[in-house]
Amino acid sequence: TDNAFGKPPVSVLGLGAMGTALARAWLAAGHEVTVWNRTPARTEPLAAAGARVAATAAGAVAANELVVLCLLDDASVGEVLADADLTGKDLVNLTTGTPGDARARAEWARRRGARLLDGGIMAVPPMIGVPDSGGYVLYSGPRALFDTHRDTLAVPSGARYVGEDPGFAALHDVALLSAMTGMFAGVHHAFALIRKEDIAPGKFAGLLADWLVAMAPMAHTTAERLESGDRTTGVVSNLAMMVTGNATLLRTADEQGVSTELLTPYTELMARHLEDGHGEEDGSGMVDLLAR
């Protein structure tokens, strides 16, 4: 039951870097928190901060209606909950997995009498419980379940609901992380280009970050092209020009003694799209090429 301040109690299973940060945030906000971790020593700092410690995962599940899982992977969720009575429980699974994992886990929970919200955490542990950190958690699953726990879920980080399909949080999460991976690859390639020159990485970093921020709104223009289907009206940087420009990127990498392993696959895809007759379009057609 809610405590005197109307704050629902929460069970947190999995006290790695992220689970610990989540449990601390709920404790700091005045929620009663019950914790469990496979390696019991990890519960000690939280016990010192006021958490109740369950001896077993089943005990932590039994303690509260709202049960948060933050484990290494989907397989560990299955293992940890194997012996727990999930009847009537509201599970919030913040363990990273694929959309398929989330859909299967939601059905698995339903068969065991529980409701499940899946969550994708767009934050690192130091951002948890920090207002305005920019972090948030994407949630998907039953809307009513999200609304029931919305205030509690908003404590560690912003809570953004992305749909009834239990796989959507994971899908959004992985899509964002995939874009981030491409950005990391580009950043590392850029630093490699200047590595052996008399250019201070610290000074270059400012230019690089500003440039990436300036280019980020292209996500919106891509979305507009995908939604309208119009790939050519008002194009300012067409594919034919970009493919020619890519050759300069590759030749510069050669001149600087930098591997082209990161750039080559994408430039080859762009060249293939050009050969298919899309030279007057912007780059949004690459989405169709990839999704085929």
DSSP three-state, residue 90: strand
Least distance in angstroms from the C-beta of 259 to ligand FVH: 28
Among 11, 34, 37, 140, binds ligand FVH (CB under 6 A): 37
Interaction between residue 42 and ligand FVH (CB under 6 A) = yes
Which listed residue (53, 76, 110, 158) binds ligand FVH by CB under 6 A? 76
| Residue matched to tokens 């039953």 | 142
CB neighbour class for 112 (10 Å; exposed up to 12, middle 13-18, buried from 19)? middle
Residue nearest to ligand FVH (CB): 16
The two structure tokens encoding residue 97 = 């997995």
| Of 8-16, 216-224, 232-240, 250-258: span binding ligand FVH (CB under 6 A) | 8-16
The residue among 25 and 71 lying less far from ligand FVH, judged by its C-beta, is: 71
H-state helical runs in 57-197: 57-63, 74-80, 99-111, 143-153, 168-194
Rounded distance, CA 268 to CA 271, Å?
5
Residues 188-217: x where in contact with ligand FVH by CB under 6 A, - otherwise, as a string: ------------------------------
Instruction: Evaluate the CA torsion angle 9, 31, 56, 22 in order and state its sign.
Output: positive
The angle formed by the CA atoms of residues 89, 98 and 171, to the nearest 5 degrees, is 95
Exactly one of 16, 78, 158, 163 binds ligand FVH (CB under 6 A); that residue is 16
- Residues forming contacts to ligand FVH in the complex (CB under 6 A) are 14-19, 37-39, 42, 70-72, 76, 79-80, 95-96, 121, 124-125
